[in-house]
Structure formats: C-alpha cells, structure tokens
Amino acid sequence: MLAALGLVSCYPPQIQYPYTEMVTNRRLVLKDNLLALLPAEQQPAALEEATWLADTAYKAAAGIARLNGSCFPGWAGNALVNAHFQDRGLCWHYQHDMYRELRRRPLQYFRIGCCVRDCGKASEHNCVYVAAKDAAWPAAWVLDAWMWNGRLKVDDARKLSASRWADLPSIARLQSIYYAEGHQWPMEHWSVLRGPEGQYEGYWLPEMRQSPQYRRMYDNIEAGKKEHPGYLTNY
C-alpha cells in the first residue's frame, strides 16, 4: 500500500494543486523572498511583479509537468526519456519551459536567468532563477520544476555550492530569442524538439517537421485553442 501511495504521488500535480493552502503559503513565501532581493525603497512598487512571478512559478511548474505527462520525478523520469519511452521530462526541458512561462510579461524589477549544477558531468542539472534586474548570480532564487515532477522546489542560490552551481547566460540568451519578454507563444510550444533520429534540434528546422514530437506539439496547441479560445496558458 505504501509503495502504491508513493507511486501515485509521483504523478504530475492536479490542476488544484497550486491553490491548496500549503502551496498558497509557499507562493507568499517566494514572493517575500523575491522582494527581499531588492532595495527597501523599491519593494512597494515591485510587489505586484513579485507576486506574479511567485504565483506563475508554482502554477506553471505543475502545468508543465502535466503537459509532459511524466509519471516519475527527477532521475526516474530521465530514464524513461533516455530510453525513448517519453519525449520530454529532462531537467533542461523543464528549464526551457519554465523560462518560457516566466517571460510572459516585461519585468521592471526582476530578470529570469538559467543556471546549471555540475556542468558537463553525469550529475548535470539545469534550472531557471529569478534575480533582481541588475544583480549578478548568485543573488537569486533557483526554481526547479523537474526534481519533484511539477511540485516546485525553491533554493537560495547564495546557499548552494559555488563549486558546483554556475550561471548559464548562454542558454538564457538563446531562449530569449525564442521567448522575448511579453511573448505570445502558448505553453504548448517547445523551442527544442526530439527529431526523427532521436536528436534534439530547434523546432523551426525542416527535419523537425517530420518528428513525432513536432506533431505532438502541433496537436497540443490545436487542442489548447479549442479548449481555451484566445488562450496562452491553461494551467
């Protein structure tokens, strides 16, 4: 029975998950932590922006996991992707998708970045972070939607190992080309797809149009349009 309960808990969060009392309180904590990144005189003006970021982070993490359809968190989900049983669910998939969702509005006081742990090693792990607009890494909060399969994990980058974690501006720059601040791409859009031969490439390449993942992305977008007219997000 315990094993069965553990397995069920690995599934993506339900739609109501971000609105539970527990997660609502976590959203408030994240909002306060984001505001604390700013000088005191900026905090009142930045309140609405910090609230949007905190709320969107928790809601988007859960929605992304549901769209990916992964039944297992973290490394267990990676095994399914690497064995080609699933197309999506790697940590960098979640990184790209979280970046997309947090770039939906222009930000005056904060910026979205990408970071990596153990770059180039078997234990490499990729996340996004939120920092003050002009602040450098690691003065930031790391948002990890992958570890717990859509149940957002939040870490203070200043308390992470400096020898293992690093800023990843190259990925942020690349993703910013796809997802400019205030972009209008729906949440079903993926910037990088798995192609017919198992390789990952940008969605715009002609060979990607022949991949099952491109067809899945297209079908997801069309289904979203039917279910939510005028939609951009549906989490």
Question: pLDDT tens for residues 68-101?
Answer: 887 778 878 788 888 878 888 999 999 999 999 9
Query: What is the Cα–Cα distance from 219 to 213, expressed in whole angstroms?
Result: 10
d(CA 48, CA 112): 16
- Point out which residues pair with 138 in neighbouring strands: none
pLDDT at 9: 52
Tell me which residue of 176, 167, 164 sits closest to 107, measured CA to CA.
176
> How many whole angstroms separate alpha carbon 194 and alpha carbon 214?
8
In angstroms, the CA 24 to CA 102 distance is 18
Per-residue b/e over 1-34, b at no fewer than 16 CB within 10 Å?
eeeeeeeeebbbbeeebbeeeebeebbeebbeeb
Six-digit token string for 102: 């947090």
Going residue by residue through the chain, which has 235 residues, state the pLDDT in tens, using 9 for 90 and above. Answer: 434 434 545 789 999 999 999 999 999 999 999 999 999 999 999 999 999 999 999 999 999 999 988 777 887 878 888 887 888 899 999 999 999 999 999 999 999 999 999 999 999 999 999 999 999 999 999 999 999 999 999 999 999 999 999 999 999 999 999 999 999 999 999 999 998 888 899 999 999 998 999 999 999 999 888 888 778 887 8
| All residues at 6 or more sequence positions from 206 whose CB lies less than 8 Å from its CB, including other chains | none
What does pTM read for this prediction?
0.93
- Give me the sheet containing 110-117, strands edge to edge: 153-156, 140-144, 125-132, 110-117, 165-167
